[in-house]
Amino acid sequence: MKFIFATLHVKNLEESIQFYENIVGMKLARRFPGGPHTEIAFMADGPAEIELICNTEAEPVVYGECPSLGLSVEDLDQAMEHMKEQGVEIVSGPFQPNPNTRFFFIHDPDGVNLEIIEKK
């Protein structure tokens, strides 16, 4: 098996697409209707994708502590500065559990935990 995508239910598709494009750096791969009151967008970064589903008639999903999606960066300090410049709150970290790994957490517009991680 090979991991290909994760699905997130979002309250505002436009806001989520803009976040994943402008803050995270992913690209909109495709977007299409998904049924009555529903639209789907796939955000891509290499072979893995995030599927965003917006149903305007559904109750908003409360994500809380889970899930957490990991996003790799080359330079954690530069990524933290980018978040600050974009007005994105760093909700915890940075942490360094070992000499080769550092990370911090932010939230997407729907409260999904995103772990921004640098591995050497």
Q: How far is CA 5 from CA 13, 21, 52, 75, 106, in A?
A: 17, 16, 10, 25, 20
Closest CA to 31 of 50, 45, 3: 50
In degrees and rounded to multiples of 5, residue 78 shows phi and psi of: -65, -40
Q: Is 106 exposed, middle or buried (0-12, 13-18, 19+ CB in 10 A)?
A: buried
Catalytic residue set: 115
**53 vs 31: CA distance, rounded Å:** 10
